[in-house]
Structure 1
Amino acid sequence: MTPLDYDYLQKILKDRSGLMLSADKKYLLESRLLPLARKMGLPGISELVQKMRSGSEAVTHDVVEAMTTNETFFFRDKTPFDHFKDSVIPELIKARAGRRSLRIWCAASSTGQEPYSLAMILKEKAAELAGWRIEIIATDLSPEVLEKSRAGLYTQFEVQRGLPIQFLVKYFKQTGTMWQLNADVRSMVQFRPFNLLQDFAPLGKFDVIFCRNVLIYFDQATKSDIFNRLMKANEPDGYLFLGAAETVVGLTESYKVCPKRRGVYLPNVAAPSTASSIAAGGLKPVSFAGR
């Protein structure tokens, strides 16, 4: 791989996904793209780049897919999910008592473990949320991982990573060597393709946004821009959850730290009326009526 090849890949990845590769990440490119090149019958990365330069959109898609990190697991880092269950949802139940609805966005949702973790938490609170309209929107850049997410089918290894045994027994059925999430939990999450570099406005407003473990791959200017746009998509009294290695400090004034809640941030705006929330077209809410 020549320096020109590396520069070309850096630009494509930043433009298509926001992924920023520093000069010392050559090993990461090689480890992920060499297997892809060989799968295509190509001798190396330079030949892969030649196909991309020739206008092969399919090859470019496969390169972006290979470089997008899809590491995730159920209830990852645990503490944010405890805050969601023990503090955020009880507070929102009080704050939204008038409209009896909640909208939650999981950005960069990968293979679905994060939004399904939230869905299971809300299932556990079904009695408190009886009659409420709940929308969990999960988005990701990759159509492939979204397809896997919708199936809700996971390996033994995947369900052993972070998933409480009582939830495995209660919400999953074994299918051969795999475990499938029950249909009623799967139906609570709506998966759709979305790039964080796109305009957020069509998605509408959200009470809670999970945008965890993805911004670490972006440069500072892109992070700041995303934070500013996330704030506009967040209800003024809503919540933003970030990953353990992520922060808004020094990057934006749009959010402030939520005291005593690690990984949770609050929109840094005066709180106007939140009586209504803009629903995105074609998104069907889940109702807990009669449960």
Structure 2
Amino acid sequence: MTNWIEALQSHLIVLGVGTDDNIFRDLMPDDPVIAMSLHGDSGELPEATFDGKWILHPGLQVLVRDTDSDAARARLDAARAALIGIENTTLSGVKYIGITALQEPMPLGTDESGAFVIAQNFLVLLSFDAIGTLAAGTKFYWNGSEVAEVLSLGDLLARVDVRDVSHRSSPFKEYKPGKPGLEPLEIIGTLRKEGGSLSFFAEATSGVIGTCEVRFPEEIGLSVMFDAFVSQHRTSFASILRFAATLQPTGRIRLELSS
């Protein structure tokens, strides 16, 4: 995903709020004295929509420094007007739903050079394609451990130890993590991307027989449930392993057992 702060920096420059020489990202250098700096954080946990989009709401702080307090306030006002005017706008491939000021401008006094510094915090709402960001290098995590990595959209290697899984094997038996009776399960499969959906087709090759199929629906987002159906090697009953897939804004997928 394009650096969203970099996109905002470019937008402010285009609108004439500043130039390449006095609007900065993530730092406020000592020179020039008249300067502006944009600082961001990850904000709250992202949300997912039913059309396969992520909604992110990071925080943004704008710092302005000038030799005169009124001039510093005027530059901050210009930046705020430009930012809150961004609504349902796409910049560098990222859709900005909107930007909201969280409080009034905050005078921070003067720095070591005697220049006036003023700041204001904002909430930024971003949206981008969740499925489109899945690519080679995407990691799968389960119970805090890495269990798989997408080598390409057609090649996925996943290793899962079913002895650590709490699940039901037919209506008659229930296994808890750490309970003996299940052998390690190695899953090797193919991850496919067709249109707006993802599918994972796999064969369990160690300790089990048969195949399992994991489907990611079009509504893939932060919490997508799927079942893996496998048959135990030394028994006649089928096991159902139910997981939740969590798609993180870093492009990683976290697999966690569902209750």
- Asked if Structure 1 and Structure 2 have the same fold, meaning a TM-score greater than 0.5 normalized by the shorter chain, the answer is no
Greater fraction of residues in helix: 1
Which structure's CA Rg is the greater one?
2
TM-score of the pair, normalised by structure 1? 0.23
Higher relative contact order (CA 8 A, sep 6+): 1
TM-score of the pair, normalised by structure 2? 0.25
Greater fraction of residues in strand: 2
